[in-house]
Structure 1
């Protein structure tokens, strides 16, 4: 049974493992920001401890409907004050481990949602 339409015109996560993610079958080993419309760039953070409020202010500038934050190999939450810029722009924000974030991003992207995945790869 098909739960959502398959769309060939969106960028998808096609695989993942410890320390890597494949986006449209191209492997990446560093943290990345990606959007369904083809937006893809490195995210300048190498581990959870290196994150700052500025990383999340950067996400607010992307003007997405929703940010899916993959916090690494386990679920970890950032300080709520770091999300202030996102809240001011009324951008939704969800935190989950990176593998769950990949799966969730794929579903939302396939639905045509304006979603950005911020994937921390340690």
Structure 2
């Protein structure tokens, strides 16, 4: 699914999502990663939502989000409650969705200048 044929602004945006990859601007990423409007953190060591822990919360929080979007692959899968609680205790909203929905929502919030972080889980090869 293609999202944009034009560069929308001075922030990192998602151009395309497939089951095995996400294209950020012009770069196709095939391993799980974190994305904020200013930077991408590649090789996020997660391959499934059920494996998320408090350690993963800290990596996301380093990007200083006001809202977190968790893309769990081709289908929405909820992570352990302890992972979700790590954000809620800090007053940071978190939404869980499939990668395509996370990409659309991320692009919209980033275009509005929001401090959004999208965490995309991609399958291991």
TM (norm. structure 2) is 0.84
Size of the aligned set, in residue pairs, is: 116
Question: Residue 47 of structure 1: CA displacement?
Answer: 2.8
Whether 1:75 and 2:76 are equivalent positions in the alignment is yes
Q: Distance in 1 between matches of 2:26 and 2:64?
A: 26
Q: Which residue is 1:55 aligned to?
A: 56
Q: Which residue is 1:11 aligned to?
A: 12
Q: Which residue is 1:99 aligned to?
A: 100
Question: Residue 53 of structure 1: CA displacement?
Answer: 3.1
Q: Which region of structure 1 is more displaced relative to structure 2, 51-60 or 72-81?
A: 51-60
Q: Distance in 1 between matches of 2:60 and 2:91?
A: 12
Structure 2: give runs of 5+ residues left out of the alignment: 1-6
Q: Which residue is 1:3 aligned to?
A: none
Matched residue SS, 2:94: strand
Query: Can you list the C-alpha shifts for 1:38-70, whole angstroms capped at 9, x where unaligned?
Result: x11121112334333321232233321100000
Q: Distance in 2 between matches of 1:120 and 1:8?
A: 25
Whether 1:117 and 2:113 are equivalent positions in the alignment is no
RMSD: 1.6
Structure 1: give runs of 5+ residues left out of the alignment: 1-5
